[in-house]
Amino acid sequence: MKHDSIAVLDFGSQYSHLIVRRIRELGVHAELLSPHMKASELKEYKGIIFSGGPQNLSDSDALIADIAIYALPVPLLGICYGLQLMAHQLGGSVGAGKEREYGPTDVTITETTGLFAGLNATERVWMSHGDYVATVPEGFTVTAFSPTCPTAGMMNEKTKRYGIQFHPEVVHTKNGMRVLENFIAITGANKTWSLNEGWIEEQVSRIRTQVGDSRVLCALSGGVDSSVAAFLVHRAVGSQLTCVYVDTGLMRKNETQEVRDAFAALPDLDFRVIEAESVFLEKLAGVTEPEEKRKIIGETFIRIFEKEAKTIGDAEFLVQGTLYTDVITSGVSVGGVAAKIKSHHNVGGLPKDLSFSLIEPLRDLYKDEVRMLGRALGVPLTIVERQPFPGPGLAVRIIGDITPDRLHILREADAIFREEIKNANLGSAIQQYFTVLPVVRSVGVQGDARTYGYPIILRAVTTTDFMTADWARIPYEVLEKISTRITNEVKDVTRVVYDITPKPPGTVEWE
Ligand code: XMP
């Protein structure tokens, strides 16, 4: 089935991906595209959105759109920089604001039809701009304004050109989804985008055609992406698929068992667990430098995977859980570089000389869509709801050299932390939470005796994209319980500390 689609031209806003996600949430397929797209390449789209961007139109290198786009019989919506660009290119004028308008702002809506149908006379919206549209182009009317912004909205209803200074895609714009929904209605796009059986069947038949009778190999990390990709490919080719899961010994408590249980639901799958803890620990013994750890783990993984691949014989295809965000890096379009395609490897980097053709069935999907798909495919929730976990696993959460004892301590402390976050119902509010064990010892006192043990660091962050993050405000009572349990239940831990560093300047992980 060919879906109606909306093109989002990326002028470099940090919210560009969010626009695409919101349109998809509303049931219409959307794609993030280079701002250099030519009108001739956009004819098939039902609507076109110009995103915001960090530039000013007065900059000598300011990005502009192909002027021929305005002649297409396709509805157009400009957001923030996109609005200013539209005004500028169609003969209006853009002024430099004396003050920036940033954050929540009340705008007066003067036209409650079309794009603003159903909105109130005053709307709380999210602004982030300095420049503003001083005069709208001929044929346009102002549809909204704020105390400092004379053109918070403009439209030419006849040609279906719309512009808004605020960001409808962020949650702080109260009726932002309504605005996007109105735009979809204006485009007439059919709402066919959902990861239902129809989508799954479409992919399944595509994979079947691609694979034929060949064998397919998948390196499972146990994370959401590779697991959902494996379930989908399995639906297409059944027993032609072999999944290889390498137990590095650097996984969290019960993780390997959870992966086994999840894949036990697919009895005809050739599912292989390679127990390689001793190999990894031997190679990592005495290594303290984080990049050295990553390199060793990556290489060891490759060697094991290669060896296993040979025993499978003539596998022609390799499944990878590449996501849309891996394929399209937001903002790379700024400065004239077209959207960059990078090849993505889930597990430490697979060897380049393995001559496989790739199957990447999630290439068009966002993480939340992959989770939705996982649920539809029956992937167990233990996997679908899993928080991100770094490829090198617990190796980068022991700050110092890795020993089986330290791994045991870290695993037990981490399991307690996760359990208590779950008990407190905080799991969905905190995007990543884990423990870290620095190889230092401190003095404690337990049962009247002096002890000498490790500290455990709790790390918990809230974030939307992991590029920036804040430390989670876990209630004191929950922290207290976690601390008490860890020092009581995990031998050799004398102290529990909470990391209150945002990113930047810290990173999420400690190494
Ligand atoms: P940082 O520590 O860079 O982490 O703020 C951002 C996100 O990336 C994850 N991370 C990794 N994932 N291999 C991975 O697959 C790695 O080596 C790695 N290092 C960090 C981290 O858990 C967080 O989600």
The one-character DSSP state at 503 is B
Instruction: Give me the pLDDT at residue 336, please.
Output: 38
Asked if the bond preceding 504 is cis, omega within 30° of 0, the reply is: yes
Q: What percent of the chain has pLDDT over 70?
A: 95
Report how far residue 222's alpha carbon sits from residue 78's, in angstroms, rounded to the nearest whole number: 41
Specify the pLDDT at position 465: 76
Scanning 347-494, the segments in alpha helix (DSSP H) are 367-377, 381-384, 404-423, 476-489
How far apart (Å, rounded) are the C-alpha atoms in residues 121 and 401? 63
Mean per-residue pLDDT for 288-296?
95
Look at ligand 1, atom 10, and give the residue with the nearest C-alpha.
390
Given a cut of 80, whether residue 330 has pLDDT beyond it is no
pLDDT at position 231 over 90: yes
The SS3 assignment for 273 reads strand
Q: What is the dihedral of CA 411, 417, 421, 424, to 10 degrees?
A: 130
Q: Greatest CA span in the chain, whole angstroms?
A: 84
Find the 144 Cα to ligand 1 centroid distance in Å: 43
Using the 8-state DSSP alphabet, how is residue 16 labeled? H
Instruction: Give tens-digit pLDDT for 115-130.
Output: 999 999 999 999 999 9
Asked if the model's pLDDT at residue 493 lies above 70, the reply is yes
State residue 325's pLDDT score. Answer: 82
Asked whether the beta carbons of 148 and 99 are under 8 A apart, the reply is yes
Cα atoms found within 13 Å of the Cα of residue 366, Cβ hemisphere only: 20
User: According to the per-residue pLDDT averaged within each range, which of 136-140, 221-225, 368-372 is highest?
Assistant: 136-140
pLDDT for 339 equals 35
Protein residue with least CA distance to atom 19, ligand 1: 390
Residue 44: the pLDDT is 96
**Residue 220 pLDDT:** 94
Catalytic residues: 80, 167, 169
Selection from 347, 294, 360 nearest residue 321 by Cα? 360
Residue scoring higher pLDDT (356 or 63):
63
Centre of ligand 1 to C-alpha 488, Å, is 30
Q: Residue of the nearest CA to atom 12 in ligand 1?
A: 390
Task: Tokens 């390498």: give the residue.
Answer: 246
Secondary structure tally for the chain: helices H, strands E: 13, 22
C-beta separation of 159 from 99 below 8 A: no
**Digit-coded pLDDT (tens) for 161-219:** 999 999 999 988 999 999 999 999 999 999 999 888 889 999 999 999 999 999 999 99
114, pLDDT greater than 80: yes
| CB contact at 8 A, 127 and 105 | yes
Contact predicate 433/387, CB 8 Å: yes
Give the span between the Cα atoms of 352 and 355, in whole angstroms. Answer: 7
CA dist 374 and 371 (Å) reads 5
Q: How confident is the model at residue 354 (pLDDT cuts 50, 70, 90)?
A: low
- pLDDT tens per residue across span 405-439: 999 999 999 999 999 999 999 999 999 999 999 99
Using one digit for the tens of pLDDT, what is the confidence trace for 232-253?
999 999 999 999 999 999 999 9
Give the distance (Å) from ligand 1 centre to CA of residue 421: 21
pLDDT of residue 289: 96
- For residue 509, give the ligand 1 atom closest to its CA: 2
Query: Bridge partners of 272?
Result: 244
330: CB partners within 8 A, 6+ apart: 10, 14, 16, 17, 32
Residues in contact with 274: Cβ distance below 8 Å, sequence separation at least 6, in sequence order: 244, 245, 246, 247, 304, 308
Please name the residues in contact with 177: beta carbons below 8 A apart, sequence gap of 6 or more: 22, 25, 26, 168
State in Å: Cα 281 to ligand 1 middle: 21
| CA distance from start to end of the chain | 45
Among the atoms of ligand 1, which is closest to the Cα of residue 294? 17
Task: Give the residue whose CA is nearest to atom 20 of ligand 1.
Answer: 390
> Which of the four pLDDT bands, split at 50, 70 and 90, describes residue 449?
confident
Query: Cβ–Cβ contacts within 10 Å for residue 502, how many?
Result: 14
Q: Which residues, listed in sequence order, are joined to residue 47 by a DSSP beta bridge?
A: 6
> DSSP string covering 198-266, please?
HHHHHHHHHHHHHHTT-EEEEEE-SSHHHHHHHHHHHHHHGGGEEEEEEE-S-SPTTHHHHHHHHHHT-
pLDDT tens sequence across 360-409: 999 999 999 999 999 999 999 999 999 999 999 999 999 999 999 999 99
Residue 448: predicted pLDDT: 84
| Mean pLDDT taken over the chain | 92
Give me the pLDDT at residue 346, please. 41
Q: Which residues have C-beta atoms less than 6 Å from ligand 1?
A: 294, 388, 390-392, 432, 466, 503, 507-509
pLDDT at site 464: 79
Average pLDDT over residues 9-38: 94
Looking at the CA of residue 506, tell me the nearest atom of ligand 1.
Answer: 5
Q: Is the pLDDT of residue 353 over 60?
A: yes
Nearest CA to ligand 1 atom 7: 466
Is a pLDDT exceeding 50 seen at residue 305? yes
pLDDT at residue 185, as a whole number? 98
* 130 contacts: CB under 8 Å, gap ≥ 6: 56, 96, 97, 99, 100, 101
Q: Would you place residue 329 in the very low, low, confident or very high pLDDT band (cuts 50, 70, 90)?
A: low
Q: What is the pLDDT of residue 43?
A: 96
Per-residue model confidence (pLDDT) at position 162: 98
Q: Which two tokens stand for residue 291?
A: 């990049």
Q: What is the DSSP string of 337-382?
A: ---------SSS---TTS-PEEE-TTTT--HHHHHHHHHHHT--HH
Residue 350 pLDDT: 58
| Residue 25 three-state SS | helix
Band of residue 478 on the pLDDT scale cut at 50, 70, 90 = very high
Mean pLDDT calculated for residue range 103-123: 96
Q: What is the mean pLDDT of residues 347-367?
A: 77
CB–CB of 248/408 below 8 Å?
A: no
pLDDT, residue 351, reads: 58
Calculate how far, in angstroms, residue 453's C-alpha sits from the geometric centre of ligand 1.
27
Count of CA atoms in the C-beta half-sphere (13 A) of 337? 11
How large a percentage of the chain has pLDDT more than 90?
82
Pocket test for ligand 1, best of 220, 344, 467, 509 (most atoms within 8 A of CB): 509
